[in-house]
Amino acid sequence: LVKILYVIDELHKTQREYLLSDAAIKTYGSYYSKFRMLVRECDNFDGFLSAMFGKSATMLLRLAGALKALKTSVQFLDESRDVRERHLDSLDVEFINWVEINLSSISDKAESFIVDAETVVEAARMLEYFNIHKLKLAGYSVGNHTIEIETVFESLKSASSVYDPITRKLMCKTIS
């Protein structure tokens, strides 16, 4: 893990711009549309949910960029398995020198900073996990953290939910 984080840090010593591939733009667009729809629906009855979903599109981009950086660094180290295995325990001088010499093999490639559609989908799964936990921290009763956010949202809107005008939250039964 230390070596992965070291490579990520070295890769970003200069400012990097991550771009979405054409397929990733389409994938992101579908998530963006979903978040916009959820913001509009939530705006009428729950300010917390509206704000959470409103920030989700931006958070998705951040997670996708971070995940791409992680994947690029792991791939870089994986392709140089012999060096990685010789330096298992620490960031010794030989490993650091090797990274400095060889990092240009990925840092000079534009594809190292292009986020693909699969990475956007993986980031969206991470975002759903985080959003479910935000709901739990905000006092919403959410039973299963592996369910999709739409299922949670539909349960929050269901007839079993009661709107509390003072807290501007939906009080609902446990969602499972």
Q: Is the pLDDT of residue 162 over 80?
A: no
Helices H / strands E in the chain, number of each: 8, 4
Q: Which two tokens stand for residue 13?
A: 């010593």
Averaged pLDDT, 114-143: 85
Identify whether the C-beta of residue 111 lies closer than 8 Å to the C-beta of residue 121. no
**DSSP code, position 1:** -
Residue 167 vs residue 33, higher pLDDT = 33
Sequence-ordered list of residues with C-beta below 8 angstroms from that of 63, at least 6 positions apart, any chain: 123, 126, 127
pLDDT of residue 70: 93
Beta bridge partners of 32: none
Residue 145 vs residue 46, higher pLDDT = 46
pLDDT of residue 95: 81
pLDDT digits (tens, 9 = 90+) for 29-48: 999 999 998 888 888 777 88
Mean pLDDT of the chain, nearest integer? 79
Closest CA to 53 of 41, 69, 61, 68: 41
Identify whether the C-beta of residue 24 lies closer than 8 Å to the C-beta of residue 121. no
Neighbours of 171 (CB within 10 A): 14
Q: What is the DSSP string of 126-158?
A: HHHHHHHHHHHHTT--B--TTS-HHHHHHHHHS
* pLDDT band with cut points at 50, 70 and 90 for residue 149: low
pLDDT of residue 92: 79
